[in-house]
Amino acid sequence: MEPRRPNESAGSAWEDAGFIASWDEGTDREKSIREMQMKTVVFMLPQPKDQPLRLLDLGAGYGALAAAVLADRPSARAVCLDGSEEMIKLGRERSAGLGGRMEFVRGPLDSAGWLKLIPGPFDAVISARALHHLTHEERRRLFRDVHGLIRPGGCFINADSFKPGSEALRGMYRRTRKRWVDPPAGDAAPETPQGARLPHGAHYNGLMEDELGWLRAAGFHDVDVFWKFTNYATYGGFR
C-alpha cells in the first residue's frame, strides 16, 4: 500500500474554478479514449434499458458519466458524490435540464464516512477516472463498501487507468497513445509517477490483476475487464 502524505487528500485545486476549467480543457486531448471508457460503462449496465434505475456515481466531478447514463436511460436517476464544492456547483449548472434526475452530494471517499451521506441501495455504482486518487487499501475498502450498497442483479463499473506491469510496457503504452491522439492535439498526457504530489492529488494506480482480485474479494462475481486501451480500462463486477 502506498502511504498518503499528510493533508494530501484536501485536493484544494478542485475548489479552484480556474484550475477545473484548465483541467477540463486538457482532458480533450484524449477525448476519444474517455468516450470509449464512458460508453462501455453505459452499455455494460445489465438491467433492461427501460427499467428505472437508481445510480451512484463516485468521485463524479460535475457528473459527466452519470449524465451519459441518464441520456441513454430516460427512467434512471443518479446521485453524484464528489468532494469538491466547485465541481458540484458546475454539475448542478450543467444538469439543470435533466428535471431533477441528478442529485449532487459533497463528501470524501478516503474514509468510510461517505456511506452515511448516501443511503442505499443502488442498482449500479459507477465511477470514471477518480478512484486512482485512493490508496490501494482505501480502494479495497471502498470496493467492499460498494458491494453492500448494490441490489442483487446490479453492478459496479469503474473507468480508470491502471499501473503497467513493467517499464517497457509503460513506454509502449505511451507511444501508442501518442499515435492515437488526433493532431493537432499532439502528445498524450504525461504519466504520473505513483504517489507523486500533484495539485489535484496523488495517483495510486494498481496492477489490473490486483484491481480485479480486490473486486472478487469484495464479493463481486463475473469480474472482468470490459474494455481496455493501453493502461486505460473499464472494468467491474456484478452483485
Give the tens place of pLDDT for each residue, 74-91: 999 999 999 999 999 999
pLDDT grade for 10, boundaries at 50, 70 and 90: very low
Query: Which pLDDT does position 112 carry in this prediction?
Result: 81
How do the domains of the chain map onto residue ranges?
14-238
Q: How far apart are CA 29 and CA 41, in angstroms?
A: 21
From residue 239, how far is each of 80, 139, 233 by CA, in Å? 21, 18, 20
Q: What is the mean pLDDT of residues 83-110?
A: 94
Using a pLDDT cut of 90, give the percent of the chain over it. 74
Cis peptide before 164 (omega within 30 of 0): no
Query: Which pLDDT does position 155 carry in this prediction?
Result: 98
From residue 213, how far is each of 107, 110, 128, 143, 144 by CA, in Å? 27, 20, 19, 11, 12
Residue with cell 510496457: 169
Domain 14-238 has CATH 1.10.3720.10: no
